[in-house]
């Protein structure tokens, strides 16, 4: 075939650039690289390496904004790291090695197409190891990801001197308190261990003290300088005490009750929503309610929202939401006391039992918030405390009813309904015309490929067609097109010249299903002559162009694809084996090439094959069941000519058209036992009679008789080419 599919037009440009991207001070592992909020690479790299990014269709391919492709160096910034060779080639040899920084170096990668603006690059990394208690550093979350032990975060923030930590010497820390907190927060089999891991980033957009408080809020912890040891101490607020073993504060050791207040039930919070961030860096929210609290307030919801941006595990989010609700839903009493030094061991986070007969308070467990030691001379200690919620029993929690709203946008997915076809002569003429120059480029093996597919989701926009020859390495984008309407037969369909077809769908898309077009009913092409959207039926002329009417089962697909098909304009030949991928897109992107299903087709040169004969009748009838016990078999037909049938979708019952130059017909007749009795080839007329005498002689019955049943095959022949479909008719003699 000629050069019509080989012409090239510049539609845009690919953009390449080198990048040096510094993300943070330190990582243990690189897990993903994202560009423009899309994943360009996923894996697990823990040492300097060169990664091959191969996502040229990440942003929709060359029809939209291209993708990312090229080599990226991963640089962990270890003390032994040398200078990067690519940066030296660009900036000169006298550059730093950039130790102590985690960075990516893109070696002149393709970063976009048609759009000269670089999209934002980001990474998903893991860092849990600080050189301290590494057996407790990793927290395995419920979703399988690894988070960091918060005690390790707090300890490094206090002691680090390189990235902005407070720089305390380790000797200033109460080692036992930090080790116990790390054990409780860590992963393990003990019932006290919580699997409490956090994943968050400190970008120095707040003070390091504020960052520490964020971590403490997550774990419900207290960090203070002990007045007993002088060391920084970490304590977790937990139900880890026996009330009978707690010290008692009452009128015998309280010098002064400065104040006492209790929140009313109407002020209590009965619904808590915590905001957290999932692994895709998308905001999430978990809400819990106190059933009894809602009932006490007559069904009124008194809610609050809290931010816990370090949580990425939905199970942990639910646990923290329940914890926060338990602390907020109770009418909590608070007090300020001045006590003597007999209770000097009380420190922040410690609990005591408060008895105060004048207020009617007895056996109330309180937890210390702050301690002011005063001076040795006055012998007084001032403490503030609040009632401990863990001493008030459990509450019944529930999750409020979920919203019925669902996001209508979906990720792109494979089209379940897909068809590959070779181009018909009708389609070729409409694409390229019938000029002598075009026809001179063709030979009897010439062909092209088309495809069409059903819409995989309601928000699917279009699809791309990609092809390659079987055995080839690279795929090439060939076309972009829209989805046709796909119907489903509601009933069985028998061969006919014209049919009214009921469809199972509740409605027809009348923008896509219109009279004057053609459709594919399985392998049969039909011409749509009328559309009834009320009764959901279409009226069609059967077996048009290079097909013939055949039977169809209920449930078969009907594709209204006349203006909605992808075309590979590559010049192909009969015998060529081709693989095809279909890539649908939604507003969230296009299906990645590697995720698309692969279909294969072996070309047969459809468009150059002669049309099968039309208006076929047996003994004067179409599709007769019987021709009579003693009747001779007579088959008649009408000429068809693909080169003349380029304007009208002709009916089966029309008379002669053509015939095409050098057209002949081959007729094969089979007897009642399925044995081939006679082949009549090279026929140029439009009728053939199988004389009774010839049938008796060919059958070999003794005594001689006619067959009780016959089967007829009829096809068109032009040179070495046979019609794509053949007539196959069976009759009985009765």
In the Cβ-directed half-sphere of 68, how many Cα atoms lie within 13 Å? 24
Q: Answer for the pair 109, 69: CB distance below 8 angstroms, yes or no.
A: yes
Note the pLDDT of residue 10.
64
Q: Answer for the pair 347, 233: CB distance below 8 angstroms, yes or no.
A: yes
Q: Which residues contact 392 (CB under 8 A, 6 or more apart)?
A: 330
Q: Answer for the pair 590, 57: CB distance below 8 angstroms, yes or no.
A: yes
Domain shared by 551 and 515, yes or no: yes
Note the pLDDT of residue 1.
46
Q: Is residue 228 part of a domain?
A: yes
Q: Is residue 348 part of a domain?
A: yes
Q: What are phi and psi of 712, to 5 degrees?
A: -120, 130
In the Cβ-directed half-sphere of 299, how many Cα atoms lie within 13 Å? 0
Note the pLDDT of residue 4.
38
**pLDDT averages per 10-residue partition of the chain, 734 residues:** 48 88 94 92 95 90 85 96 96 94 95 88 93 94 92 95 90 96 94 93 85 94 93 93 92 91 74 90 86 70 90 91 83 88 91 90 91 82 89 55 63 91 93 89 93 90 92 90 93 96 91 92 95 94 96 95 90 94 88 92 94 96 92 96 93 94 96 95 96 94 94 96 96 91
Beginning with the edge strand found earlier in the chain, give each strand of the sheet holding 614-618 in spatial order: 614-618, 633-638, 687-690
Q: Is residue 492 part of a domain?
A: yes
Cα angle 475, 478, 482; round to 5: 125
578, 608, 638 - which closes a domain: 608
What gap in Å lies between CA 666 and CA 656, rounded to an integer?
17
3-class SS of residue 185: helix
Domain shared by 492 and 537, yes or no: yes
Note the pLDDT of residue 333.
86
Q: What are phi and psi of 247, to 5 degrees?
A: -65, 155
Instruction: Concatenate the DSSP letters of all residues of 393-459 into one string.
Output: ----EEPPPPPS-----------SSEEEEEPPHHHHHHHH---HHHHHT--TTEEEEEEEE--SSTT
566, 587, 608 - which closes a domain: 608
Domain shared by 115 and 225, yes or no: no
Domain shared by 459 and 551, yes or no: yes
3-class SS of residue 475: coil
Domain shared by 590 and 472, yes or no: yes
Domain shared by 297 and 285, yes or no: yes
Helix axes 150-159, 175-185, angle to 10 degrees: 150
**484 to 519, 529, 558, 650: CA distances (angstroms):** 10, 18, 10, 23
DSSP 619: T
Structural element, H or E, at residue 294 = helix 291-296
Structural element, H or E, at residue 217 = helix 208-219
Q: Is residue 4 part of a domain?
A: no
Could you list the beta-strand ranges (E) of 265-314.
271-277, 283-290, 303-307
Which residues on neighbouring strands pair with residue 277, listed in sequence order? 283
Q: Is residue 557 part of a domain?
A: yes
Q: Answer for the pair 349, 287: CB distance below 8 angstroms, yes or no.
A: no
Query: Taking the chain, what is the end-to-end CA distance rounded to the nearest angstrom?
Result: 52
Chain-centre distance of CA 466, in angstroms?
20
557, 586, 608 - which closes a domain: 608
Q: 431: which 2 tokens?
A: 């694409």
* pTM greater than 0.95: no
Q: Answer for the pair 157, 208: CB distance below 8 angstroms, yes or no.
A: yes
Note the pLDDT of residue 162.
86
Domain shared by 428 and 531, yes or no: yes
Domain shared by 496 and 600, yes or no: yes
Q: 284: which 2 tokens?
A: 């999430």
Beginning with the edge strand found earlier in the chain, give each strand of the sheet holding 29-35 in spatial order: 38-45, 29-35, 121-126
What gap in Å lies between CA 659 and CA 273, rounded to an integer?
78
Residue 715 structural domain: 614-732
Note the pLDDT of residue 5.
40
Q: 59: which 2 tokens?
A: 């942003």
Domain shared by 149 and 227, yes or no: yes
In the Cβ-directed half-sphere of 580, how many Cα atoms lie within 13 Å? 30
3-class SS of residue 494: coil
Q: 392: which 2 tokens?
A: 């008030």
**231 to 132, 175, 176, 478, 520: CA distances (angstroms):** 18, 9, 11, 70, 82
CATH code of 637's domain: 2.60.40.10
Domain shared by 140 and 121, yes or no: no
Domain shared by 450 and 379, yes or no: no
Q: What are phi and psi of 565, to 5 degrees?
A: -145, 150
494-520 burial code (b ≥16 CB/10 A, e <16): ebbbbbebbbeeeebeeebbbeebbbb
How many domains, the chain? Answer: 6
Q: Is residue 118 part of a domain?
A: yes
Note the pLDDT of residue 519.
94
Domain shared by 249 and 285, yes or no: no
Q: Is residue 412 part of a domain?
A: no
Q: Is residue 33 part of a domain?
A: yes
What gap in Å lies between CA 253 and CA 245, rounded to an integer?
17
Residue matched to tokens 């053939």? 688
Note the pLDDT of residue 395.
47
């Amino acid at each position: 075939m000629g050069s019509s599919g080989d012409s090239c037009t510049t539609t845009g440009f690919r953009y390449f650039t080198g990048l040096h991207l510094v993300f943070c001070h330190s990582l243990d592992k690189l897990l993903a690289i994202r560009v423009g909020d899309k994943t360009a690479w996923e894996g697990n790299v823990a040492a300097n390496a060169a990664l091959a990014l191969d996502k040229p269709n990440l942003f929709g391919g060359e029809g939209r904004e291209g993708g990312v492709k090229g080599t990226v160096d991963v640089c962990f910034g270890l003390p032994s790291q040398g200078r990067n060779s690519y940066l030296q080639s660009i900036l000169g040899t006298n550059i730093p090695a950039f130790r102590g920084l985690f960075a990516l170096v893109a070696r002149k990668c393709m970063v976009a197409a048609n759009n000269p603006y670089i999209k934002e690059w980001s990474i998903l990394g893991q860092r849990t190891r600080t050189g301290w208690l590494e057996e407790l550093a990793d927290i395995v979350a419920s979703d399988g990801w690894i988070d960091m032990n918060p005690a390790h975060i707090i300890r490094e923030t206090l002691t680090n001197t390189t990235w902005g930590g407070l720089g305390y010497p380790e000797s200033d820390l109460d080692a036992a308190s930090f080790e116990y907190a790390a054990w409780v927060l860590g992963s393990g089999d003990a019932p006290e261990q919580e699997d409490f891991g956090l994943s968050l980033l400190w970008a120095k957009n707040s003070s390091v003290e504020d960052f520490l408080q964020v971590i403490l809020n997550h774990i419900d912890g207290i960090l203070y300088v002990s007045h007993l040891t002088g060391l920084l101490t970490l304590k977790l607020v937990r139900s880890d005490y026996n009330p009978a073993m707690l010290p008692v504060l009452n009128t015998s050791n309280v010098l002064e009750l400065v104040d006492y207040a209790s929140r009313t039930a109407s002020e209590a919070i009965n619904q808590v929503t915590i905001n957290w961030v999932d692994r895709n860096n998308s905001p999430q929210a978990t809400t819990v309610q106190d059933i009894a609290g809602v009932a006490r307030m007559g069904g009124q919801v008194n809610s609050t929202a809290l931010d816990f941006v370090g949580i990425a595990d939905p199970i942990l989010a639910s646990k923290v939401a329940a914890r926060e609700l338990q602390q907020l839903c109770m009418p909590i009493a608070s007090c300020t006391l001045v006590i003597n030094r007999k209770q000097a061991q009380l420190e922040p986070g410690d609990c005591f039992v408060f008895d105060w007969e004048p207020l009617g308070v007895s056996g109330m467990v309180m937890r210390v918030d702050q301690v002011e030691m005063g001076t040795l001379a006055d012998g007084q200690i001032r403490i503030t405390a609040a009632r401990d919620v863990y001493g008030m029993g459990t509450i019944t929690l529930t999750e409020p009813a979920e919203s019925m709203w669902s996001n209508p946008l979906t990720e792109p997915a494979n089209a379940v309904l897909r068809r590959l076809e070779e181009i018909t002569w009708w389609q070729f003429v409409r694409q390229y015309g019938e000029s002598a120059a075009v026809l001179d480029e063709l030979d009897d093996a010439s062909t092209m490929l088309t495809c069409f597919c059903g819409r995989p989701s309601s928000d699917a926009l279009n699809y791309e067609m990609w092809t390659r020859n079987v055995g080839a390495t690279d795929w090439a984008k060939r076309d972009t097109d829209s989805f046709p309407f796909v119907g489903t037969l509601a009933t069985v369909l028998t061969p006919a010249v014209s049919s009214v077809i009921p469809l199972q769908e509740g409605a027809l898309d009348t923008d896509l299903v219109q009279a004057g077009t053609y459709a594919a009913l399985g392998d049969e092409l039909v011409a749509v002559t009328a559309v009834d959207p009320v009764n959901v039926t279409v009226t069609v002329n059967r077996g048009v162009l290079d097909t013939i009417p055949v039977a169809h089962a209920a449930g078969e697909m009907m594709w209204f694809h006349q203006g909605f098909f992808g075309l590979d304009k590559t010049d192909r030949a009969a015998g060529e084996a081709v693989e095809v991928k279909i890539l649908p897109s939604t507003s969230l992107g296009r299906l990645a090439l590697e995720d698309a299903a692969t279909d294969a087709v072996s070309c047969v040169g459809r468009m150059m094959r002669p049309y099968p004969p039309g208006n076929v009748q047996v003994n004067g009838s179409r599709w007769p069941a019987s021709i009579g016990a003693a009747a001779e078999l007579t088959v008649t037909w009408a000429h068809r000519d693909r080169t003349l049938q380029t304007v009208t979708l002709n009916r089966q019952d029309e008379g002669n058209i053509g015939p095409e130059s050098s057209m002949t017909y081959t007729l094969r007749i089979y007897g009642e036992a399925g044995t081939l009795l006679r082949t009549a080839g090279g026929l140029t007329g439009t009728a053939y009679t199988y004389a009774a005498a010839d049938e008796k002689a060919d059958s070999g019955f003794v005594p001689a008789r006619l067959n009780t049943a016959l089967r007829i095959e009829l096809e068109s022949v032009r040179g070495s080419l046979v019609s794509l479909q053949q007539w196959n008719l069976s009759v009985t003699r009765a």
